[in-house]
Amino acid sequence: MNPLVPVAYDVVWVVVALVAFALAVWAIVGLSRGAARLSSLTVVLWAVVILLVPVLGPVAWLAAGRRAGRGVAHS
């Protein structure tokens, strides 16, 4: 235990890490569900972005990637 750093900082960073991990899992699951509508290269690139860019990668997939994978709407 470090007397110069309050325990609350450790708690906050653990919560931030858990949220980042949960976002990554959620994005990878969403990517795997939509993989049939995307090319193999696109799936691999999204997976790399999701895993290597901790928070922004999953947020980018959840915001933009899912819509890009939907394709043309059927009437």
Indicate the pTM of the whole model. 0.76
Q: For the residues 9-16, what does the mean pLDDT come to?
A: 92
Q: Does residue 66 surpass a pLDDT of 90?
A: no
Q: Does residue 8 surpass a pLDDT of 70?
A: yes
DSSP of 13-67: HHHHHHHHHHHHHHHHHHHHHTGGGS-HHHHHHHHHHHHHSTTHHHHHIIIIIHH
pLDDT tens-place string over residues 29-51: 999 988 888 889 999 999 999 99
Averaged confidence pLDDT in the chain: 85
pLDDT of residue 6: 83
